[in-house]
Structure 1
Amino acid sequence: MGKFQLSVLFKIIGIGSASGLVYHNDKLYLISDNSTFLYEYVIPTEKLNKIALVENAQDNIVKKDKPDFEAIAIKGTDLILLGSGSTENRNLIFNYAIPTGKIQKNNIGVIYQKIKNEFAITDDELNIEGLIMNQDHIYFFQRGNGIQGKNAIIFSKDTPQNQQFEYVPIDLPKIKNIATTFTDAILVDDKIYFLASAEDTESTYLDGEVLGSIIGRMDLKTLKVEFTQQISSTHKFEGLTLYKQSEKEMEFLLCEDTDSELLESNIYKLVIKD
Structure 2
Amino acid sequence: MEKFQLSVLFKIIGIGSASGLVYHDDKLYLISDNSTFLYEYNIPTEKLNKIALTENAQDNIAKKDKPDFEAIAIKGTDLILLGSGSTENRNMIFNYAIPTGKIQKNNIGTIYQKIKQKFNISDDELNIEGLIMDHDHIYFFQRGNGAKGKNGIVYSKDVAKDQKFEYVPIDLPKIKNVPTTFTDAILVEDKIYFLASAEDTESTYLDGEVLGSIIGTIDLKTMTLTNSIQISDKNKFEGLTLYKQSEKEIEFLLCEDTDSEVLESDIYKLTLKR
TM-score by length of 1: 0.99
Matched AA of 2:43: I
- Aligned twin of 2:119: 119
Matched AA of 1:234: K
Query: What does the per-residue CA deviation read over 1:25-77, in whole Å, with 9 as the maximum and x for residues that have no partner?
Result: 00000000000000000000000000000000000000000000000000000
Query: What does the per-residue CA deviation read over 1:91-138, in whole Å, with 9 as the maximum and x for residues that have no partner?
Result: 000000000000000000000000000011000000000000001210
Matched AA of 1:172: L
- Aligned twin of 2:194: 194
SS in structure 2 of the partner of residue 113 of structure 1: helix
C-alpha contact (below 8 Å) 2:136/2:160 kept by paired residues: no
Identity of aligned residues (%): 84
- Aligned twin of 2:43: 43
CA distance in 2, matches of 1:223, 1:231: 22
CA distance in 1, matches of 2:64, 2:159: 32
1:163 Cα shift? 1.0
1:160 Cα shift? 3.7
- Aligned twin of 1:170: 170
- Aligned twin of 2:247: 247
1:273 Cα shift? 1.1
Structure 1 vs Structure 2 CA RMSD? 0.7
- Aligned twin of 2:184: 184
SS in structure 1 of the partner of residue 272 of structure 2: strand
C-alpha contact (below 8 Å) 2:2/2:229 kept by paired residues: no
1:157 Cα shift? 2.6
- Aligned twin of 1:68: 68
1:161 Cα shift? 4.4
- Aligned twin of 1:8: 8
C-alpha contact (below 8 Å) 2:158/2:164 kept by paired residues: no
Alignment of 1:64-213 (within 5 A): 64-213=64-213
TM-score by length of 2: 0.99
SS in structure 1 of the partner of residue 197 of structure 2: strand
Gaps of 5+ in 2: none
Whether 1:260 aligns to 2:260 is: yes
CA distance in 1, matches of 2:140, 2:16: 24
Matched AA of 2:269: K
SS in structure 1 of the partner of residue 115 of structure 2: helix
SS in structure 1 of the partner of residue 116 of structure 2: helix
- Aligned twin of 2:21: 21
CA distance in 2, matches of 1:223, 1:251: 23
- Aligned twin of 1:272: 272
CA pair 158-262 structure 1, distance change in 2 beyond 3 A? farther
Gaps of 5+ in 1: none
The total of aligned residue pairs comes to: 274
